[in-house]
Amino acid sequence: MNFRATILTLYPDMFPGPLALSLAGRAQEAGTWALETVQIRDFATDRHRSVDDTPAGGGAGMVMRADVLASAIDHAAPPGDPRPKLLMSPRGRPLTQARVRELAAGPGAVIVCGRFEGVDQRIIEARALEEVSVGDYILSGGEPAALVLLDAVVRLLPGVMGNQASGAEESFESGLLEHPHYTRPSNFEGHAIPDVLLSGNHARIGAWRHAEAERLTKERRPDLWKVYKDPK
């Protein structure tokens, strides 16, 4: 079964966006994965096609309505649809490479893109939405986050990357950040490629790359380094 993504959004024209280009675009043309959008506003029931209302208890902004979202989600993922239902949300669990691999191994995903102050908590609970965050910052809506998630997933689908070994050696795959990369010219503005990389000794090269990955992780991501050194 090919990977199938359904995006629930108020701005369907934002898709496929960059996903129509490069590896993801070629894979979509080849039928490796499919993308469809659902306009949430089509499921509004009043003449103004309202999808939001004022927050209960007061406060700034507007909240997306549970009833409208429920109709849109049920249309996109009727009973029996095996795909996980995701809500892009800054309060969600951080997206990890491990979760990306899980999604890439599955049938696809139904992705809800929130707007305004957020969505009614009752729809999250009633439709078992998995809240996913792409970082500790706030976006104008869930659409850019959905693009990030899909880009990360699609590149791992079988046949999308020309060299599957490339994915296995990247940051986060082993719990470490990726080692530095070099290519020609051998000398750039007085900076030379490390001699070990030109030695032809694959054991030494592998050891150097691993040591550099450990050094960078320890310096830049002490949170990852702690888990790497003590996975318990």
Is 63 among the domain residues?
yes
According to the model, what pLDDT value does residue 111 have?
99
* Residues 100 and 12 grouped into a single domain: yes
Check: CB of residue 151 under 8 Å from CB of residue 24: yes
- In a domain, residue 159? The reply is no
Looking at residue 173, what is its pLDDT?
84
Domain holding 174, by residue range, is: 169-229
Same domain, 181 and 219: yes
pLDDT computed for residue 8 by the predictor: 98
Q: What is the CATH number of the domain that holds 208?
A: 1.10.1270.20
Residues 118, 199 share a domain: no
Same-domain pairing of 173 and 224: yes
Determine the pLDDT at residue 1: 61
Asked whether residue 180 falls in the same domain as residue 146, the answer is no
For the chain, how many structural domains are there in total?
A: 2
The pLDDT score that the predictor gives to residue 231 is 87
pLDDT at 183: 97
Q: 107, 126, 154 — which closes off a domain?
A: 154
Same domain assignment for residues 75 and 176: no
**37 and 131 belong to one structural domain:** yes
In a domain, 122, yes or no: yes
Task: Assess whether 94 and 194 both reside in one domain.
Answer: no
Distance CA 110, CA 93 (A): 17
What is the domain-level CATH number for residue 149? 3.40.1280.10
Indicate whether 160 belongs to any domain: no
140 shares its domain with 191: no
- Domain-embedded: residue 84: yes
Q: Measured between alpha carbons, how far is 175 from 225 in angstroms, rounded to an integer?
A: 8
37 within some domain:
yes
154, 181, 212 - which closes a domain = 154
Q: Which pLDDT score, from 0 to 100, does residue 169 have?
A: 63
In a domain, 145, yes or no: yes
Query: 10-residue block means of pLDDT along the chain (232 residues)?
Result: 94 98 97 98 96 96 98 97 98 97 98 96 98 97 98 97 64 89 97 98 98 97 95 82
Domain for residue 162, yes or no?
no
Judgement on whether residues 70 and 17 belong to the same structural domain of the protein = yes
Q: Are residues 144 and 215 in the same domain?
A: no
